[in-house]
Amino acid sequence: MSVKSIMYLLAKPLLRTGAAGPAPLDIRKLSSILIIRPEKLGDLLVSLPLCEALKRANPDLKLYLLASSRGLEAVQGDPRFEQIFLYRKQAISDFRTARAIRRLKVDFVIDLVCDDSVTSLFLTQYCARGRACAGMGKNQFRKHYDFNFPYRTDNDAHVIDNTLKILGAFGIDSRTADPYVPLHIGAEATRKATEWLTRSVPHKSGALRIGINQSAGSPNRIWPDAKTKELISRIKSRHDESQIILIYVARDRQRAEALALDFDSGVCTVPLGLNLEEVSAIISRLDALVSPDTSLIHIARSFHVPVVGLYSRFMDNYRLWRPYGQSEGAVVSSSDVDICDIPFDQVFDTLQRLLNAEKEVAR
């Protein structure tokens, strides 16, 4: 038995039991909600439509967020949040943070950690003691939540749609919410992106700006550079005026620059040192994006940019995290471990179909 399981058993008599079959709450009567999402960047990005829907239902609502350091960059300066707290996985520091949140006396808690997490359960109970709460994907701990919504509703349900089901706790039909909600991009980031694109990637009439992301959160999500080179060559041969923008994190800078040097023109890397907000401002101006990383996939789709996403086959997770709102766009490896075996021509063919579909819509 794990340490956390033992902690749960010891604390169980002190934990609040949720109401049985509670009626939906009137969100207009709530003044504040705490959202617990101390996970990866992508997890926070897919939660933004829910946050936006809550604010639209009650513009005066104060939203407080508990996020991880990995997700913090996506919401810094976001006016939707009254205050953002950082979860560090450091007991003393996190206890102080939880105590500071508790002093706010929020009206309701939404635990978006989508499993039976002892940590998120304790945070939910301590940060707003005695308050009603909603969770997602809770099984063993279901009884401690007033509302609980399934994480996987069926094989075709997207993680954004599943997250929006939380609105049912307030009697709001999740289908009325806008699922395309980007992270906040300020005027300065927009200015930087516009200036760089105008100077370095001039948009010729009829030419395409296509982004290719070379980075991912784990090494097994990196697509081989040789295949990226073949993909670029195929794109350039089909769309000779196209501009390819290579996107990367700092550790992959040399890989991106080396790849760009393999082409005489029409291929460039984003400037070094951009933050997520500034990269997102560039992504919002693309005609399409190819990415093995789900965070940038969600960012692009929030701006309705067509996306080709590269996924491993593991647990069919690509069904949950596929490019939102596209009938296709998920290219899946035959491996549960990595994406190395995905052929470049399959990626190109998928990209071409998406571009053709966009052209038809524009007519």
For residue range 4-46, list pLDDT tens digits in order. 788 888 888 889 999 988 999 999 999 999 999 999 999 999 9
3-176 has CATH 3.40.50.2000 classification: yes
Q: Contact at 8 Å (CB) between 49 and 179?
A: yes
What stretch(es) of the chain map to CATH 3.40.50.2000?
3-176, 187-362
Torsion angle of C-alpha atoms 154, 56, 136, 128, degrees rounded to 10: -170
Torsion angle of C-alpha atoms 277, 283, 284, 286, degrees rounded to 10: 160
pLDDT score recorded for residue 161: 95
Q: What is the mean pLDDT of the chain?
A: 94
Mean pLDDT of 356-360: 85
Torsion angle of C-alpha atoms 266, 202, 251, 42, degrees rounded to 10: -110
CB neighbourhood size of 245 (10 A): 24
Which residues face 332 on adjacent strands?
Answer: 311
Report which of 160, 210, 117, 358 is spatially closest to residue 125, judged by C-alpha positions: 117
pLDDT higher than threshold 70 for residue 152: yes
Report which of 11, 276, 45 is spatially closest to residue 158, judged by C-alpha positions: 45
- pTM of the model as a whole: 0.95
Task: Give the three-state DSSP class for 62.
Answer: strand
Q: Report the CATH superfamily, name and number, of domain 187-362.
A: Glycogen Phosphorylase B; (3.40.50.2000)
- Rounded CA separation 80/356 (Å): 36
pLDDT higher than threshold 70 for residue 154: no
The alpha carbon of 72 is separated from its chain's Cα centroid by a whole number of angstroms, namely: 12
Q: Which of 190-194, 198-202, 306-310, 315-319 has the highest mean pLDDT?
A: 306-310
